[in-house]
A and B are shown apart, each in its own frame.
Chain A
């Protein structure tokens, strides 16, 4: 860990990994779109509307995954003062907010034709909306103080407290009677979804993951260069 904590080590490593992830993202999302729009069959009940799943579900997975990363980075940054951890959390947060927004909007567009409503205050939808506000709160707190360190600490504490929302999102469909359907991929006893629908979904999800990884590295590189620029301009703290 200490060696990996070195920002110059990160700059070197990411200069190779970032383009690899970028190319992989383009490839997986390209193939994923083809599978989702042309190859996957229409659902016997939902017809073609089921294709919304291929953007809705991967973005929902990313929304929770990225939040877990933001919270982990925040915790590591607070406890071990790891120089890259806070930067990773800060730079991942806007990306996570973006995935959450895609999840909410595409879910709404799926809800109207299938449930007959754009929105319902059931446990799953509400907890994902809370996740979106946690991201916004994290970003706002991080930038709310003149003293950057205080902002970082306050945002990190919010991110760690907000982790309780993740199991609520995951198990909301089991704990409460929700309009939202139950898990059909990550569940005990394996997926209940047909392989012809599952494969395009997984390809798309891997594409989203690569896209996020490439963009996170890009943003962390910017943040490190920005920190160096500040140090050169205002003197080393």
Chain B
């Protein structure tokens, strides 16, 4: 059986060890969420822009008059 009390106490260094892990988790997940958000936004905007344009294939067909 694991002694969780002792684990979280970290031999008296809890107030140094856990903030160190916390900062790492915060910064890394922050970078991840920010980058994923950007990715989704630009992907959606690009899809909308391409939808609004006639595709090259369609444009060529129209030029040929078919």
- List the interface of chain A (C-beta within 8 A of B): 37, 42, 47-49, 51-52, 55-56, 59, 94-95, 98, 101-102, 105-106, 109-110, 112-113, 211, 215, 218-219, 221-222, 225-226, 228-229, 232-233
Contacts and interface: CB of A to CB of B under 8 A. Distances in A.
Nearest to B36: A218
A201 to B, nearest CB: 14
Contact of A232 (B12, B20, B35, B53): B53
Question: For chain B, what secondary structure do more than half of its interface residues adopt (helix, strand, loop), or is it mixed?
Answer: helix
Contacts of B27: 98, 101-102
A106 B23 contact: yes
Contacts of B17: 48-49, 51-52, 109
A70 B18 CA distance: 31
Nearest to A106: B20
Contact of A49 (B11, B35, B49): B11
A229 B46 contact: yes
Interface string B54-65: 000000000000
Interface of B: 7, 10-13, 16-17, 19-21, 23-24, 27-28, 30-32, 35-36, 38-39, 42-43, 45-46, 49-50, 53
Contacts of B10: 48-49, 51
Question: For chain A, what secondary structure do more than half of its interface residues adopt (helix, strand, loop), or is it mixed?
Answer: helix
A95 B31 contact: yes
B16 to A, nearest CB: 5
